[in-house]
Structure 1
Amino acid sequence: MGSVGTALLELRTAQKSAKGVSLYSRYVNRPVGRYLAAGSHAVGLTPNQVTLVSAVFSFAAVAGVALGEPSWWQGVAVWAGLAAGFAFDSADGQLARLRGSGSAAGEWLDHVVDCAKITALHAAVLIAFYRHPGHFGVTDDAWLLVPLGFQFAAVVTFFGGLLTEKLTPRPAPGAPSAPSRLRAVALLPVDHGIFCLVFLLLGAGPGFRWAYTALGAVSALFLAAFLTKWFRELSAVRR
């Protein structure tokens, strides 16, 4: 354990590359996660415990979507839970680097929680559409396919990106290239932090449905682009 200030100073030099990271994650989620990591270090939490804290916030929000009555207040509570869970998700890795205690088991736990969160969140939206069709303007059962399609795109993107990272050889040591700001802006529509914001519209009924559907369509387009890019990159890798 140590002071929050000392931990923050050490964390400034223990950050992952910003390459391939959206503006939200770079300038909002990671900095918030840095403070949470420093605070967690000060009270003696382990990275795995921080991962579980992230899971508690995230799955409480998921339960709120599936079981709660849609309203503006519910939307604020769900967004707050998801945003907090996402920030703690950033904090666990930063805490592991700060403590020098990263492990395969910790990384496994982090990814399993992330995958479960993504899968459960879209399933919760489907349940909400089914339970409250009048509120969301779900006049046809075909709308229930939207969360399934969004879930498919999100899970395949998550798994494809993770597998690509594992199969891509590590670059030779050298000066890191500056991250592209244009790419960081372009990735905003598929950033989890931006996705969390759509739940602020739960009280808007059909407004939420259309905003969620629009993000789902964008997610599908990004999935096609990502799969093409990743396949081309890995085609040049010899194992």
Structure 2
Amino acid sequence: MNRYQVATAELASSQKSGAGVPAYLRWVNRGLGRRAAAVAYVAGLSPNAVTLISGMLSVGGMVVLVFLPMSALSAVAAMVLFLAGYALDSADGQLARLTNRGSIAGEWLDHVVDSLRLPLVHLAIALCLWRAGLPDWSVVVALLFLVLSSSWFFAQTLAGKLSAKAADDGSAAEGTPDWVSFAKIPYDVGTLYVVVAALAYPPLFLVLYTGLFVVTAAVAAASLRRKYRALLAEQRDYAPEN
């Protein structure tokens, strides 16, 4: 076998459990990320370089939405760029495990890129809708989605630092049935990127995008409540720093 085949085989054997993970991430994105990680390995790229390329692809999708006329071609181009960036977002961690080059600094860089990516995608969508003259309420939904995605990401990250129990939603528990992965499709970020293609037909996009916002808001509210209750239960063991 050549180096690419060896790398993909090794990555496949060490793949994270997919139990409870959203369907697109579980069955599509991780597989694409595995192949991208193998290509990066053959090319001699570092995990940090893959992280930065992932971010640049996402920025490319935003540029398409903000500056090109709304059309089927631009909508599909933006979707492809976003999905490619998402695949590389999975590839950097897999490459780090493959090459034993994982680091705290690399994990920090990955989180910084992630913390910027999703809010900026919603900002790009808001600008795209505004520039196309679509209803003001749709721009407001996009801006609210921006705030929601940013605050939920921060809350999840902070909960993970404060308490491993609070960070654990049980989403990756072994034995979780496959239907759970399909139930999570509406708030998988990959679903959002696919929905971007519907900008080719704005009325359909507005229905799908608004639906994603409503579902994501409901799930985020439940998640935040769960994390707060878990942290509250550990309060007596918490000794604040002076």
TM-score scaled by length of structure 1: 0.89
Measure how far apart 1:19 and its partner are: 4.2
Match among 132, 144, 148 for residue 149 of structure 1: 144
Counterpart for residue 160 of structure 1:
155
Quick check: 1:150–1:217 contact (8 Å CA) kept in 2?
no
CA distance in 2, matches of 1:27, 1:234: 32
Counterpart for residue 236 of structure 1:
233
Q: How many residues align?
A: 229
Quick check: 2:8–2:38 contact (8 Å CA) kept in 1?
yes
CA distance in 2, matches of 1:142, 1:125: 13
CA distance in 2, matches of 1:152, 1:186: 24
- Residues 182-236 of structure 1, C-alpha deviation per residue, up to 9 Å, x if partnerless? 3212211110111111111111022212221111111111111111122223333
Quick check: 2:19–2:178 contact (8 Å CA) kept in 1?
no
Counterpart for residue 44 of structure 1:
44
- Residues 84-118 of structure 1, C-alpha deviation per residue, up to 9 Å, x if partnerless? 00000000000001111111111111111111111
Give 1:189's aligned amino acid.
Answer: P
Match among 210, 214, 227 for residue 224 of structure 2: 227
Superposition pairs for residues 97-176 of structure 1, below 5 Å? Answer: 97-133=97-133, 136=134, 138=135, 141-169=136-164
- Residues 130-170 of structure 1, C-alpha deviation per residue, up to 9 Å, x if partnerless? 2111xx3x1xx333211111112211222222222333338
CA distance in 2, matches of 1:4, 1:143: 45
Counterpart for residue 204 of structure 1:
201
Give 2:16's aligned amino acid.
Answer: K
SS in 1 for 2:17: coil
CA distance in 2, matches of 1:216, 1:169: 27
Counterpart for residue 54 of structure 2:
54
CA distance in 1, matches of 2:159, 2:183: 20
Consecutive aligned runs of 4 or more in structure 1 exceeding 4 Å deviation: none
Quick check: 1:50–1:91 contact (8 Å CA) kept in 2?
yes
CA distance in 1, matches of 2:91, 2:137: 39
- Structure 1: gaps of 5 or more residues: none
- % same residue: 37
Measure how far apart 1:20 and its partner are: 4.1
CA distance in 1, matches of 2:175, 2:101: 28
- Structure 2: gaps of 5 or more residues: none
CA distance in 1, matches of 2:146, 2:212: 11
Counterpart for residue 186 of structure 1:
183
RMSD of equivalent CA atoms:
1.8
Counterpart for residue 74 of structure 2:
74
Counterpart for residue 11 of structure 1:
11
Measure how far apart 1:63 and its partner are: 1.0
Structure 1 residue 30 and structure 2 residue 25: aligned? no
SS in 2 for 1:12: helix
TM-score scaled by length of structure 2: 0.88
CA gap of 1:179–1:45, structure 2 versus 1, over 3 A, is farther
Measure how far apart 1:45 and its partner are: 0.5
Quick check: 2:20–2:178 contact (8 Å CA) kept in 1?
no
